[in-house]
Chain A
Amino acid sequence: GAVVSQHPSWVICKSGTSVKIECRSLDFQATTMFWYRQFPKQSLMLMATSNEGSKATYEQGVEKDKFLINHASLTLSTLTVTSAHPEDSSFYICSARGGAWETQYFGPGTRLLVL
């Protein structure tokens, strides 16, 4: 149990376009989901916390107008990178909070390359 999926796993886009990444909890309901970013050979950095039915909470330094987060249901959160630029190229990982220990279960990640 406690499976989290992400789609797509890999995306290449042109500079200036927008990209949407989906995060789904497949076998449990997640009132809270999290979005992290990981640059090559670096650690995961929390970008934002997403609560179902309410606005996301962004970490300091993360542009909320650039990284739009929607948590429309208890099993789905989306991250839209608007007007993507090459510096937005990164590995984006979501996690969903659930289970008896309120553990965070991670998705497999999405690799974004902006040309």
Chain B
Amino acid sequence: AQTVTQSQPEMSVQEAETVTLSCTYDTSESDYYLFWYKQPPSRQMILVIRQEAYKQQNATENRFSVNFQKAAKSFSLKISDSQLGDAAMYFCAYRSERGGGADGLTFGKGTHLIIQP
């Protein structure tokens, strides 16, 4: 079974600064997707960024980028120019592709990101 580990229960960053959230995972599969989801106080899950395991290039979405190290099974999220609206729980998630993408997500325990004004 796959596992996802987020070792930082809480992170704090000054507004406009950069922060990196860590995520490691364990799998024996070679084909999978990795995701970062954001859950604000409303509890609505919002997709931040996705990464296909077969792609070497790191995904980027505006201020959000990942550092995907497949051999090390590491998938960190970097948030640049942090804004107050970035404050939320961030979950790293894994999805196997063995079922053609029809599998559910395995989530890490989450990191609570605090933005200091």
Contacts and interface: CB of A to CB of B under 8 A. Distances in A.
Interface of A: 32, 34, 36, 38, 42-46, 49, 51, 59, 91, 93, 95, 97, 101-106, 108-109
B62 interface: no
Contacts of A51: 102
B104 A46 contact: yes
Nearest to B52: A101
Contacts of B104: 34, 36, 46, 49, 59, 104
A59 B1 CA distance: 12
B60 interface: no
A104 B103 CA distance: 10
A103 B50 contact: yes
A89 B117 CA distance: 35
Nearest to B47: A103
Given A95-B45, A97-B101, A106-B37, 12 more contacts: A34-B104, A34-B105, A43-B107, A44-B107, A45-B107, A49-B102, A95-B105, A97-B102, A102-B101, A103-B47, A103-B50, A108-B42
A103 B102 CA distance: 10
Contacts of A42: 109
23 contacts: A32-B102, A34-B104, A34-B105, A42-B109, A43-B108, A43-B110, A44-B45, A44-B91, A44-B107, A46-B106, A49-B103, A49-B104, A51-B102, A95-B45, A95-B105, A97-B101, A101-B50, A102-B100, A104-B104, A104-B105, A105-B47, A106-B46, A109-B44
Interface residues of B, number: 21
A105 to B, nearest CB: 8
Q: Which of B95, B106, B107 has the most CB of A within 10 A?
A: B107
B43 interface: yes
B48 to A, nearest CB: 12
Nearest to B44: A108
Contacts of A108: 42-44
B109 A44 contact: no
A42 B112 CA distance: 11
Contacts of B109: 42-43
B95 to A, nearest CB: 8
